[in-house]
Amino acid sequence: MVKILHQLGHRHNWNLDCFFDNQIGDGFIFNLYSFPKGKIGTKISGYTPDSYLPISIVDLQYYGYKSSRNKGELDSYNFHPAKMEIEGTTVTDYPKLILKGIEYQEKLGLSKIIIPMRCEATKDVSKLTSIVDKINRYISENKNTGREYYLTLSFTDSEIKDAEWIEKILILFTNINKKFDGYYIVCDTSPEYKKKISINYDYYNNLTRVFSVLKKNGFKIIYGYANWDAIPFIALANIDYVSIGSFENLRRFSIKRFTEDIGGGPSQGWYYSEKVLNMIRSQELIKLRSNNCINQIENEKNIFSDIILDPAYPWANNGNNRPDVHKNYLLAISRELKEISIKKLGNERINYVLMKIAEAKKIYKDLYDKKVLLDEESSDYHLSTWENFLKSKLT
């Protein structure tokens, strides 16, 4: 069964509470961007390090270089490239900074070490090979018994859609001499206009190939910054760990966050529905309720869903910054991913997800027949893409 890791960043106390109070998930991924030097390894939101460190990993986030001074907490770490950037120092020995990042995690006593890598957009295989070989040699000579080492493997939006580049990457990272236990995979995607997840076939096909080939070669997989489009990936591969996040910047990896100053827009919040496999804009709930259709999208056995579907719930009053809205998603998607992963890999699991897609499409059709039209991101825009993609994988 897949294990679920909370991607921790903004409002990380909500995720910690979900785990310790509601038994949602199996551990944590600390995003260094949100945690200043010295914080990880101390009491956080009332939870002691001995309660969270044994089930945690740390994403050091070496992904990109930003010219501005807004680097979150990254520049509070002496070994981080962001620290050197803000001091005006040119990074000349990148592998050395990687090794210092490994040492930092080992000193924390973590059992799973994430080896940080920059998210390169140059498609320079020789440069990448040189860095990976140095790190591989270090792991071979210094690997500690009882620890697992995962190399960060990141993809830009253009890279994941380039099948030729994917094959070059897989050849490099499945070399039999690699000493890594697995890979920490993050993927930048650019959903189409007015869509929250991608409907690009190449994205699904190529990332699935990455997961499948690495697993067949004996590597473990941690899929970070996962969104609910992890559903078709879990349908096709035995991914070991999948992350869940609250806010969108914790559910969708974006290299721009580490290279540019970007901000989010206002939102009244979203309701994730297991029944339609989608996020529904909170304003659309009014339409559903007025037409007596709220039960068709309502999550079952979900205390947070019960709270936020109460007609008196104050969605309009900064709904996206209310914990129950996000906890509904965290509970629903973690349960959904685990239920899928316990099915036998192959046709049985694929058909199970296809059945869920068919049920979701039927609900959308019923709503349409009742003249209840869910717009844009709340619509069924992604379901046919998922359906056609999964059907192509049946044997």
pLDDT the model gives residue 324: 96
Least confident of 161-165, 256-260, 327-331, 333-337: 256-260
- pLDDT tens-digit profile of 170-220? 999 998 789 999 999 999 998 988 899 999 999 999 999 999 999 999 999
Q: What is the mean pLDDT of the chain?
A: 93
pLDDT at 17 > cutoff 80: yes
Q: How far apart are CA 215 and CA 171, in angstroms?
A: 14
- What's the Rg (C-alpha) of the chain? 21
Q: Which of 268, 265, 276, 275 is nearest to 383 (CA)?
A: 276
> At what angle are helices 201-216 and 383-391 packed, to 10 degrees?
50
Closest CA to 76 of 68, 67, 89, 85: 85
Question: Residue 340 — pLDDT band, cuts 50, 70, 90?
Answer: very high
How far lies 206's CA from each of 158, 163, 169, 170, 383, in Å?
11, 6, 11, 11, 18
The domains located in the chain, with CATH, are 3-258 (3.20.20.120), 271-391 (no CATH)
Do residues 244 and 7 touch, judged by C-beta distance below 8 A?
yes
- Residue 66 pLDDT greater than 70, yes or no: no
Token representation of residue 39: 């914080």
**What are the pLDDT digits (tens) for 45-62?**
999 999 999 999 999 999
Cβ count within 10 A of residue 3:
17
pLDDT reading at 238 higher than 80: yes
**Which value, to the nearest 10 degrees, does the dihedral of the CA atoms of residues 310, 314, 320, 325 take?**
-20
Question: Tokens standing for 337?
Answer: 């991913």
Q: How far apart are CA 97 and CA 116, in angstroms?
A: 9
User: In the structure encoding, which two tokens stand for residue 162, read together?
Assistant: 């380039």
The confidence score (pLDDT) of residue 222 equals 98
Mean pLDDT is lowest, of 6-10, 96-100, 333-337, for: 96-100
pLDDT of 90 = 57
pLDDT band at 74 (very low <50, low <70, confident <90, very high): very high
Q: Which residue has the higher pLDDT, 193 or 105?
A: 105
Q: DSSP letter for 352, please.
A: H
- Taking only the tens place, the pLDDT of each residue in 111-142 is 999 999 987 656 788 888 988 999 999 999 99
Instruction: Report d(CA 60, CA 78) in Å as an integer.
Output: 12
**Under a CB-based contact definition with an 8 Å cutoff, are residues 231 and 340 in contact?**
yes
pLDDT of residue 11: 95
| Position with higher pLDDT, 236 vs 92 | 236
Q: Over range 71-100, report the average pLDDT.
A: 80
Q: Residue 72 has what pLDDT?
A: 87
pLDDT confidence tier of residue 94, bands split at 50, 70 and 90: confident
Worst-scoring range by mean pLDDT, 18-32, 56-70, 319-333? 56-70
For residues 230-238, give the mean pLDDT: 98
Confidence (pTM): 0.95
Phi and psi (nearest 5°) for 361? Answer: -65, -35
Q: Where are the alpha helices (DSSP H) in 87-200?
A: 94-108, 125-142, 157-160, 163-173
The whole-number average pLDDT for the span 351-358 is 98
Amino acid 87: pLDDT: 62
For 356-379, b/e burial (b = at least 16 CB within 10 A) is: bbeebbebbeebeeeebebeebbb
* pLDDT bucket at 319, cuts 50 / 70 / 90: confident
263 pLDDT above the threshold of 80: no
Q: Does the structure show a pLDDT above 60 at 88?
A: no
Q: Summarize the confidence of residues 304-329 as an average pLDDT.
A: 92
270 in Cβ contact with 297 (< 8 Å): no
φ/ψ of residue 165, rounded to 5: -65, -40
Burial class (CB in 10 A: 0-12, 13-18, 19+), 11: middle
> CA–CA separation, 125 vs 128, rounded Å?
5
